[in-house]
């Protein structure tokens, strides 16, 4: 019995590793080619696996693109603990720094304009990130870091829109190397309109926020 369970566990672990290899290969191909330019063949070649292995784990490139987009927020973990308004800021700065090297986040950035081909508007990356930021901004309002008359959902949408535009322009103009600076500029302009005076004194926007150690 123990031998059977051991074999089953080894098989499950192998399946998890194979699925991860396929997902990473897909992220790299999507980041380079976009959704329309990617193909199952390119992905399996990058992964060094067969089409059969690919289709065992994923129905097609649409399923892979959905998984990559849905998993974006989980990949962004600020290196320093924070909450409320500071955490919302830290998430955007961490995203900006990680995007430079993380193939999954790069894929998400490249897939932004083609999401209608594989995911519904209700669960696309814009909606996901808006919800993430709105939660932290709501905490900030409860803690009196954000002015009482500020609609945190509107601010969250505005920040996501601004970050999306910033990464697109940074890609064209600097290979995204100045993306963290563009995000800091956005917050420098936005914060006086939404933050309370006491919160403004505590907010940190330098490279210590979001940049890996």
Nearest to 88 by CA among 98, 79, 78, 103: 78
Q: How far apart are CA 195 and CA 173, in angstroms?
A: 31
Q: Which of 39, 67, 95 is the last residue of a domain?
A: 67
* 0.85 exceeded by pTM: yes
What confidence score (pLDDT) does residue 3 get?
Answer: 54
Secondary structure class of 155 (helix, strand, coil): helix
Domain assignment of residue 79, yes or no? yes
Q: Which two tokens stand for residue 54?
A: 């690919």
Question: Are 132 and 189 found together in one domain?
Answer: yes
Which residues span the domain enclosing 180? 72-202
26-43 per-position pLDDT tens digit:
999 999 999 999 999 999
What confidence score (pLDDT) does residue 211 get?
Answer: 85
Question: Are 84 and 178 found together in one domain?
Answer: yes
144-178 per-position pLDDT tens digit:
999 999 999 999 999 999 999 999 999 999 999 99
Domain assignment of residue 213, yes or no? no
Whether the pLDDT of residue 65 is over 90: the answer is yes
Are 121 and 127 a contacting pair, CB within 8 Å?
A: yes
Question: Are 76 and 62 found together in one domain?
Answer: no
The CATH number of the domain where 79 resides is what? 1.10.357.10
Question: Are 34 and 131 found together in one domain?
Answer: no
Find the distance separating the first CA and the last CA of the chain, reported in whole Å.
47
In the predicted model, what is the mean pLDDT of the chain?
A: 92
Rounded mean pLDDT of 189-204? 97
């Amino acid at each position: 019995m123990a031998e059977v369970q051991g074999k089953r566990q080894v098989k499950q672990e192998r399946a998890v590793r194979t699925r991860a290899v396929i997902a990473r290969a897909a992220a790299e191909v999507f980041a380079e080619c976009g959704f329309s330019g990617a193909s199952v063949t390119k992905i399996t070649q990058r992964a060094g696996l067969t089409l059969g292995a690919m289709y065992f784990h994923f129905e097609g490139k649409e399923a892979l693109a959905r998984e990559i987009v849905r998993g974006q927020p989980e990949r962004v973990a600020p290196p320093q603990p924070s909450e409320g308004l500071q955490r919302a800021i830290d998430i955007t700065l961490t995203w900006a720094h990680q995007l430079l090297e993380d193939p999954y986040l790069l894929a998400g950035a490249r897939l932004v304009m083609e999401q209608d081909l594989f995911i519904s508007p209700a669960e696309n990356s814009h909606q996901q990130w808006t919800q993430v930021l709105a939660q932290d901004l709501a905490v900030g309002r409860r803690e009196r870091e954000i002015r009482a008359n500020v609609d945190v959902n509107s601010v969250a949408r505005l920040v996501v829109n601004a970050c999306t535009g910033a990464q697109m322009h940074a890609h064209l103009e600097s290979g995204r190397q100045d993306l963290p600076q563009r995000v800091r500029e956005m917050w420098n302009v936005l914060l006086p309109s939404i933050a309370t005076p006491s919160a403004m004194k505590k907010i940190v926007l330098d490279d210590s926020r979001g940049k890996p150690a």
